[in-house]
Amino acid sequence: MATTPALPGLARELVRRLDCAVLAMRYSVGDDFAIALDEGLYEGLLGQDQPLPRALQLALPEAAGNEPSWSAPAISLGTPALFGPLAAELALIPPKGQPSFNVGTAKVAYFPDEPERFVGRAGVMARASMVLAPKNQEQHNTVLLHGMAGAGKTSCALELAYRHEQAFGALVWWQAPEQGRDITTSLRDLAVALETQLEGFAMVHAAGGEAELRRFLPRLTQLLEEQAVLLVLDNLESLLTEQGRWRNPQWVNCPGSDGGLGGWAYATSLDSCR
């Protein structure tokens, strides 16, 4: 009788693939406990220059509280665990340097604020982070987040962008119109967003007609192949029919409409992927 091989533990798999330190939970924990533990842990790591084991040791009783509660039951104290050789002595030391007052270096100025609370979704974030890692950008250039409305896709896309900000020379955020809204100017709106967020970039002139767009797109594709640009395109389902085709014919000619992406590096958030 054939047996199904056991799935590897997520923490061990992350250590094996990413060669990193991992703080994992043996059992499910409440959001309040997880958030309090993260706050205390990073305060120790970044605010007090403590190594990871010491920061966890001090943060754990603070997060658990003086007495067991519904949000932090007694088992919470035995739930966190560190994995990976790096975890034994890991310390986060901020790099020294002079502050920069060049507003042109503000990569995420036009992005929505980073989610105040972001708990869970470890598997999705780990797979997406592997794709966006600098060493993998030549092999993969797309992260597609899809699922039911309200599942947290936009939060994941934002969290990924903020986490990988330093891996890209520039980042762009654009959100398509809501379902049922007019999408006639959607391509031009994207061009405006690109022009606004990429210094020295010009595209609006090419978004007015098919001929101009066809002449412009090979140059855009080459630019994105040569430069590390992260495009976060949110709410794209409003641009698609129920069969998954573009509702606006202009989008058919854009890089990526055939699945090839032509050098585009972006994270997308879709409420449906048919």
Residue-averaged pLDDT of the chain: 79
Q: Who has greater pLDDT, 4 or 85?
A: 85
Give the pLDDT band of residue 138 (cuts 50, 70, 90). low
Confidence check: pLDDT of 270 > 80:
no
Domains of the chain: 10-88 (no CATH), 105-270 (3.40.50.300)
Which residues make Cβ contacts (< 8 Å) with residue 209, sequence separation at least 6? Answer: none
Instruction: Give the C-alpha separation, 156 to 242, whole Å.
Output: 24
pLDDT digit string, tens, across residues 143-168:
888 777 777 788 888 888 888 888 88
Instruction: Give the C-alpha separation, 99 to 81, whole Å.
Output: 36
- 10 Å CB burial of residue 134 (0-12, 13-18, 19+) is exposed
pLDDT digit string, tens, across residues 202-231:
889 888 778 888 888 888 888 888 888 888
